[in-house]
Every structure is written in C-alpha cells, then in structure tokens.
C-alpha cells in the first residue's frame, strides 16, 4: 500500500511513478478525501478533548460534595451529551472517508524504483546476465515427451483425480521432485536461511497483506466456508509470519527459505502450456524471503538473486537474468529480476524464478516494522523463488536428455536422488 502522507503531500510523485507502469491515474479526488479526513480528525479530537475536560470537571464536583442532580452539574452533563453527539457524527464521516481512502489505496500497485527500466511489455525487459552453454542441437524432446516416455507422471489419470492442470508424479518423477525440494532447502539453509513450513491455507488478512487481495481474488482458490484461501506462493504466509510485529533492528535481516505447494487458478491462460509441468494449478516451490533494513534492501536484492542463481548453477542449468521493465513487474514489486532457464527441447528461455524487492509496500499493508533506538519504522521485504520445482524438473529433463533416451542428472543431485540417471524401468 502507498503512503497516505505521500498522497497528501506529493501526489504528483505517485501519478508520475504509476505513469511509468503505464497507468494513468487522477489523484485529485483522492487527495481531497485524504485532506478532508485529516481536517475531520482535528475537529473531532478537539471536541473529544473538551468532552474529557467536562467529564473530569463533573467528577471533581461530585467528589467535592455537589449533588449529581444539582443544576450546575446537570448543565455540564448536558453539555457533555451534546459534545458526544457531535463527536459521533464527525466520527462516522471520518470513518467513511478512511474506508474509501484505504479501499482505493489498496488497489494501487507499488511504485517502481528508479533502477527499474521504463517499458510497456515483457519485450522491454533487459537481459543483464547469461550463464552456461545452451544445448541447441536439433531433435531434442520437450520435457513432457521425455517424462511420458519414462513414466514420470500421469496426465489422464490426474484429470480423473482432480481436473486439467493438475499432475500426478509417479515413481522416479515423484522421487526427483522430492530430491529437488531437499536439495534446494539444504543449499539455502547452508547459507543461513531459516527453514519455514507454514500453513498453506491462509486467511484473507494474509493475502491482503502481501498484495494478492483485493485486486487478484480470481487468481486464488478459496475455501468459502472458512475465510481461508489456498496460498498461491509461500510469500503470502511468510509475509504474515511477522504481520503486526516490531522487530529489533539488530535481528535484521531475517532470511527465510520455505518449501510449499502453491495453488493458482491461472484464470485467463486457457490453452497456454497445456502439457507437462510448466503451468499447473498446483505446483511446488522453494521460496526465499528477506525482511531487512530499508538501507540494506538494494544489496539484499542482489544477494537474494545470487542465491537463487546458485541453485541453477549447482544444477548446471543454463540461464539468463532479466531486469523487468516497469510494465512487467508485479503488483507489490518495486524492482524485479526474473531468472529464465534454458529449455533446449522447447528451444526457449522460461521463467523459473522471480526475485523482487517490495520496499515498504507489503510492510505497510502488514504493519511490519523494526525498532532502531527510539524510532520505529517500516522495514523492507524481498522475495524470490529458489526455485520453482516443476519447472526445474522440466529443465533437468530437457537439458539432461541423452541419445539413448535416458536423462543424465547433475552430480549435485545424486546424493538426493540416489542415481545420476533416469532411464526407462
């Protein structure tokens, strides 16, 4: 959420920065509401102060021996009553304005950082790094062809169990998924990340706090009876891990790594990526998350991205890093690097991690602050996949495919998977 003070004092900045995202907003009405709200607050609190004085006066008079029904006391009591009525009128107006203001502010995305390049679509993203030697020989299979041939998952039967865009991993496929989760968690905890396994049903406040609600309700699965939603990413529960907390500055940064299943409705993506592991309603992901000091967040963003890249490098998967443009960064993000892995079967790079700095955007929505000396202020949050498991498996299958039809796995995975090869069984 954007800062109300910024709205009051410098709405031009908001208009300008949202403009970089391709949005055209007119904030004059909202700014007026914000100012009215503050005026009302002042009137109301002055009235309340007077009411408090009267209350004390009445108490003192009665204690001093005056009869509660005596004319002097009665006069004050009636004055108090009138003030109470005025206050309740003002309070209601104020509340209406507050709700309106908040509702609107909640729908605005984060302001991009200066570093985020201007642009409209993903075509304007900037490649900033490339690693590894992509395989480009012809006649390579796509991951779903390999997986079906080797019996790593069930597609038709998954529809029977659930519906389309769900997958059932089988045998070595299930084992590889499990190996990847363990491998990534171990890699990150070895660097000091604290492992978290949170609830994956989360309440509305959690989803609002990280920015998925109110705007993107149609993207999440909901358990209507219970005010609970299936989490679309571990970013949601981890953000709320410290919701409404004040953290001592010397404890920062807090770095977490979390494996969770993730659930997305993928509304509006009919017909895209219908085969295989690329786009599913349910998928596994290992997520990296930092709570950090505002002055350290830029540095943290680089480090978090390097930590995600370390997984790709350990798995010997060629990738590139993109700096997303203002038109392509997510709702809560101020700056984002996407990591794209090379899929030789598909012949393209594919997003496998998205590493974002959210500034104080989520912290304000979730009231997560830190205390340094006497001052309490909002901290910064960052998140990034480290990595999406299903897409990692797809990449391993396509990059490791051999002429004999088997798949060669990177050495780093052998201790977890128990073999360096997946062959037909």
List active site positions.
Answer: 264, 279, 351, 354, 391
Closest CA to 338 of 389, 299, 301: 301
Considering just the CA atoms, what is the radius of gyration of the chain in Å?
Answer: 27
52 belongs to the binding site for RNA (CB under 7 A): yes
- For residue 349, give the 3-state DSSP assignment: strand
62 belongs to the binding site for RNA (CB under 7 A): yes
Size of the site for RNA (CB under 7 A): 30
293 belongs to the binding site for RNA (CB under 7 A): no
Per-residue string for binding with RNA, 84-103, x by CB under 7 A? x---x---------------
Per-residue string for binding with RNA, 327-366, x by CB under 7 A? ----------------------------------------
41 belongs to the binding site for RNA (CB under 7 A): yes
Closest CA to 247 of 356, 380, 382, 359: 380
Q: How far apart are CA 217 and CA 106, in angstroms?
A: 13
Q: Minimum distance from CB of 3 to RNA (Å)?
A: 9
63 belongs to the binding site for RNA (CB under 7 A): yes
76 belongs to the binding site for RNA (CB under 7 A): yes
Q: Minimum distance from CB of 204 to RNA (Å)?
A: 12
80 belongs to the binding site for RNA (CB under 7 A): yes
- In DSSP terms, 292 is beta-bridged to 380
Q: What residues contact 193, with CB distance under 8 A and at least 6 apart? A: 255, 256, 257, 288, 307
Per-residue string for binding with RNA, 187-226, x by CB under 7 A? ----------------------------------------
Segment 232 to 251, residues that bind RNA, using CB under 7 A: 246
- For residue 177, give the 3-state DSSP assignment: helix
Q: What angle do CA 195, 200, 211 make, to 5 degrees?
A: 95
371 belongs to the binding site for RNA (CB under 7 A): yes
Q: Minimum distance from CB of 11 to RNA (Å)?
A: 15
For residues 18 and 109, the answer to whether their CB atoms sit within 8 Å is yes
Pick between residue 359 and residue 384 the one whose CB is nearest to RNA. 359
Pick between residue 249 and residue 314 the one whose CB is nearest to RNA. 249
59 belongs to the binding site for RNA (CB under 7 A): yes
Pick between residue 70 and residue 376 the one whose CB is nearest to RNA. 376
Q: How far apart are CA 290 and CA 382, in angstroms?
A: 5
For residues 303 and 179, the answer to whether their CB atoms sit within 8 Å is no
- 174's tokens: 């299930």
Q: Minimum distance from CB of 227 to RNA (Å)?
A: 8
What single DSSP character describes residue 173?
Answer: H
- 64's tokens: 């001093």
Closest CA to 397 of 315, 329, 335: 315
- Angle in degrees, 0-180, between the axes of helices 389-400 and 143-150, rounded to the nearest 10: 80
Q: Minimum distance from CB of 34 to RNA (Å)?
A: 9
Q: How far apart are CA 150 and CA 148, in angstroms?
A: 5
For RNA, the binding residue among 16, 19, 28, 56 (CB under 7 A) is: 56
What single DSSP character describes residue 348?
Answer: E
46 belongs to the binding site for RNA (CB under 7 A): yes
44 belongs to the binding site for RNA (CB under 7 A): yes
70 belongs to the binding site for RNA (CB under 7 A): no
Pick between residue 60 and residue 267 the one whose CB is nearest to RNA. 60
Pick between residue 72 and residue 115 the one whose CB is nearest to RNA. 72
For RNA, the binding residue among 38, 135, 215, 281 (CB under 7 A) is: 38
Half-sphere exposure of 245 (CA within 13 A, CB side): 12
> Would you call 392 exposed, middle or buried from its count of C-beta atoms within 10 A (0-12, 13-18, 19+)?
buried
Contact set with RNA (CB under 7 A):
4-5, 38, 41-42, 44-46, 48-49, 51-52, 54-56, 58-59, 62-63, 68, 76-77, 80-81, 84, 88, 246, 369, 371, 376
């Amino acid at each position: 959420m954007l800062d109300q003070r910024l709205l009051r004092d410098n709405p031009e900045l908001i208009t300008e920065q949202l403009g970089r995202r391709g949005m055209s907003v007119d904030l004059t009405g909202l700014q007026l509401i914000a100012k009215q709200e503050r005026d009302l607050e002042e009137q109301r609190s002055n009235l309340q102060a007077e009411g408090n004085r009267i209350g004390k006066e009445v108490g003192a008079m009665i204690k001093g021996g005056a009869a509660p029904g005596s004319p002097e006391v009665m006069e004050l009591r009636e004055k108090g009553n009138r003030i109470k009525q005025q206050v309740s009128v003002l309070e209601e107006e104020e509340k209406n304005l507050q709700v309106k203001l908040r509702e609107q502010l909640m729908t605005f995305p984060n302001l991009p950082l200066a570093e985020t390049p201007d642009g409209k679509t993903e075509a304007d993203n900037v490649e900033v790094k490339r690693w590894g030697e992509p395989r480009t020989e012809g006649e390579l299979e796509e991951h779903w062809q390999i997986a079906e041939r080797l019996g790593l998952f069930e597609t038709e039967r998954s529809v029977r169990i659930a519906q389309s865009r769900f997958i059932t991993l089988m045998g070595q496929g299930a084992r590889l998924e499990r190996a990847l989760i363990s491998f990534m968690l171990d890699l990150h905890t070895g660097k000091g990340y604290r492992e978290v396994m949170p609830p994956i049903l989360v309440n509305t406040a959690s989803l609002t706090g990280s920015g998925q609600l109110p705007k993107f309700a149609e993207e999440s699965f909901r358990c209507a009876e219970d005010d609970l939603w299936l989490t679309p990413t571990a970013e949601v529960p981890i953000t709320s891990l410290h919701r409404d907390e004040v953290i001592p500055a010397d404890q920062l940064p807090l770095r977490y790594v979390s494996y969770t299943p993730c659930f997305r409705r993928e509304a509006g993506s009919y017909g895209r990526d219908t085969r295989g592991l690329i786009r599913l309603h349910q998928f596994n992901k290992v997520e990296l998350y930092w709570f950090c000091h505002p002055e350290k967040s830029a540095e943290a963003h680089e480090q978090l991205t390097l930590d995600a890249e370390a997984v790709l490098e350990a798995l010997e998967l060629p990738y590139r890093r993109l700096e997303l443009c203002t038109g392509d960064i997510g709702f809560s993000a101020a700056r984002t690097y996407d990591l794209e892995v090379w899929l030789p079967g598909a012949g393209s790079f594919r997003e496998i991690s998205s590493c974002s700095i959210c500034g104080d955007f989520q912290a304000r929505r979730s009231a997560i602050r830190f205390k340094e000396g006497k001052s309490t202020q909002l901290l910064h949050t960052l998140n990034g996949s480290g990595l999406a498991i299903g897409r990692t498996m797809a990449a391993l299958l396509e990059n490791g495919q051999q002429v004999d039809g088997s798949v060669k796995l990177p050495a780093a995975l052998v201790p977890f998977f128990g073999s360096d090869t997946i062959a037909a069984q």
